[in-house]
């Protein structure tokens, strides 16, 4: 190896060392790691919340999950009488998926009655497919169309800790959020809360578990975030998401049944 090649090689090692150190010591990156650790410690997780809602109905139940990935993470642990899974298999090849379709394809077929083996209404629909606002909002509207009157639409990833978790591009992992992606689901949840005839709570756990219930009357809220900007969400999470603890949510649900 020539002396020039050796010098170039050592320079490259130094450059990579500096890049790695400045990445690790960057305050945004360190904040991102701390935020992830804090979120992962919160309880309950989505599975427990969904099972609580199913149990609260106190009858045979039909459960639909949109976006399943590895069923061992959630789907297999759900306690419903009958369960249905929808996933085009983009991230995980699961041969046991009931409907290997996108959610749009699934609901179109359900609407045209071209789908055998699915019920006409569900007790709980869990939306956890494509995490972009326009898709998530369509999933909400479609799910409400096929929800029993006293059922629940549950949404994952409604409370991203920072703008990096709420990025639009899943594939960019060199941010403080690393590979974790809440996407822009929060915008769809907020839009539904503002525009649709639903009651909405977001449990402050497991990246924000949104719960929508069909409501007899439309409550109107001031639109505090007309441009759906992340910094406004960050300042007004409680009001914009109706962010509550699981205990607070359970108390509200119980008070309805009293
Ligand atoms: C975050 S994972 C689901 C995680 C799972 N629900 C859980 O609780 O562990 C997202 C899944 O959505 C699926 N997906 C992506 N686009 C979709 C679409 N348009 N319709 C339905 N599912 C979609 C992906 O294939 C992926 O498996």
Who's near 157: CB < 8 A, 6+ residues apart? 128, 131, 181, 182, 183, 185, 186, 207, 208
- Look at residue 220 and tell me if it is in a domain: yes
Is the predicted pLDDT of residue 215 greater than 70, yes or no?
A: yes
Instruction: Tell whether 79 is covered by a domain.
Output: yes
E strand or H helix that includes residue 149: strand 147-155
Quote the percentage of the chain above a pLDDT of 90: 89
Give how many domains the chain has, as a whole number: 1
Nearest-atom number in ligand 1 for the CA of 70 is 9
Asked if residue 176 has its Cβ within 6 Å of ligand 1, the reply is no
Provide Rg for the chain, Cα atoms. 21
Given the CA of residue 181, which atom of ligand 1 is nearest to it? 1
With a cut of 70, say whether residue 150 has pLDDT above it.
Answer: yes
Angle at 139 between CA 85 and CA 126, to 5 degrees: 45
pLDDT tier for residue 258 given thresholds of 50, 70 and 90? low
Query: Ligand 1 within 6 A of 138 CB?
Result: no
Q: How far is CA 39 from CA 30, 34, 44, 217, in A?
A: 14, 9, 11, 34
**What CATH number is associated with residue 169?**
3.40.50.150
- The reported pLDDT for the residue numbered 218 is 85
Q: Is residue 221 part of a domain?
A: yes
Strands 198-203 and 243-244: parallel
Share of the chain above pLDDT 70, in %: 99
Ranking 16-20, 131-135, 238-242, 243-247 by mean pLDDT, the lowest is: 16-20
Q: Band the pLDDT of 257: cuts 50, 70, 90.
A: low
Residue-wise pLDDT for 152-207, tens only, equals: 999 999 999 999 999 999 999 999 999 999 999 999 999 999 999 999 999 999 99
Per-residue model confidence (pLDDT) at position 91: 81
17 within a domain of the structure (yes/no): no
Which letter, b or e, does each residue of 44-55 get, where b requires 16 or more Cβ atoms within 10 Å of its Cβ?
A: ebbbebbbebbe
Please report which confidence band the pLDDT of residue 22 belongs to, taking 50, 70 and 90 as the band edges: very high
Find, among 50, 72, 48, 71, the residue nearest to 61 by Cα. Answer: 50
Long-range contacts of 100-109 (CB under 8 A, 24+ apart): 102/129, 102/130, 103/66, 103/67, 103/127, 103/129, 103/130, 103/135, 103/138, 103/139, 103/142, 104/135, 104/138, 104/142, 106/66, 107/142, 107/145, 107/146
d(CA 190, ligand 1 centre) in Å: 20
Average pLDDT, the chain: 95
Q: Classify residue 31: in a domain, yes or no.
A: no
CA of 129 to the centre of ligand 1 (A): 4
Helix (H, G, I), strand (E, B) or coil at 123: strand
**Does ligand 1 lie within 6 Å of residue 68's CB atom?**
yes
Query: What is the residue with the minimal CA distance to atom 27 of ligand 1?
Result: 69
- 179 in any annotated domain: yes
Alpha carbon of 21 to ligand 1 centroid (Å): 34
The model's confidence at residue 219, banded by pLDDT at 50, 70 and 90, is confident
- Is a pLDDT exceeding 90 seen at residue 114? no
Token pair 């869990």 in the structure block, residue: 126
* Cα gap 200→76, rounded to integer Å: 26
For range 229-253, the mean pLDDT: 97
Q: Which helix (H) or strand (E) holds 147?
A: strand 147-155
Q: Which domain holds residue 205?
A: 42-257
Domain assignment present for residue 170? The answer is yes
Residues 149, 136 contacting (CB under 8 angstroms): no
Q: Determine whether the shortest distance from the Cβ of 86 to ligand 1 is under 6 A.
A: yes
For residue 129, what are its two tokens?
Answer: 């497919």
Question: Which one of 95, 105, 130 would you pick to mutate in the ligand 1 pocket, going by the greatest count of ligand atoms within 8 A of its CB?
Answer: 130
CA 90 to ligand 1: nearest atom: 25
| Full-model pTM | 0.95
Closest CA to 50 of 77, 24, 10, 25: 77
pLDDT higher than threshold 80 for residue 136: yes
87 Cα nearest atom in ligand 1:
22
Structural domain contains residue 8: no
Structure tokens at 78: 């759900």
Is the pLDDT at 77 greater than 80? The verdict is yes
Instruction: Indicate the length of the chain as a whole number.
Output: 258
SS3 content of the chain, % helix, strand, coil (to 5): 40, 15, 40
The residue whose CA has the least distance to atom 16 of ligand 1 is 130
């Amino acid at each position: 190896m020539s002396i020039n090649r050796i010098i170039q090689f050592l320079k490259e090692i130094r450059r990579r060392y500096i890049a790695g150190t400045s990445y690790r010591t960057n305050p945004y990156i360190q904040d991102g790691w701390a935020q992830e650790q804090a979120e992962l410690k919160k309880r309950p997780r989505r599975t427990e919340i969904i099972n609580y809602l199913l149990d609260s109905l106190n009858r045979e139940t039909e459960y639909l999950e949109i976006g399943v990935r590895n069923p061992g993470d959630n789907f297999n642990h759900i306690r419903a009488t009958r369960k249905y899974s929808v996933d085009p298999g983009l991230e995980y090849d699961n041969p046991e998926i009931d409907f290997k379709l996108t959610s749009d394809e699934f609901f179109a077929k359900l609407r045209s009655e071209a789908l055998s083996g699915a019920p006409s209404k569900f007790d709980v629909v869990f939306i956890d497919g494509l995490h972009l606002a326009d898709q998530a909002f369509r999933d909400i509207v479609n799910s409400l169309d096929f929800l029993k009157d006293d059922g629940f639409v549950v949404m994952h990833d409604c409370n991203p800790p920072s703008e990096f978790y709420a990025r639009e591009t899943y594939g960019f992992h060199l941010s403080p959020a690393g590979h974790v992606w809440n996407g822009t689901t929060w915008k769809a949840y907020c839009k539904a809360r503002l525009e649709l005839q639903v009651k909405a709570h977001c449990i402050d756990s497991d990246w924000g578990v949104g719960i929508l219930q069909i409501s007899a009357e439309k409550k109107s809220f001031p639109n505090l975030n007309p441009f759906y900007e992340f910094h406004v969400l960050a300042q007004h999470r409680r009001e914009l998401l109706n962010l509550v603890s699981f205990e607070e949510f359970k108390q509200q649900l119980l008070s309805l049944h009293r």
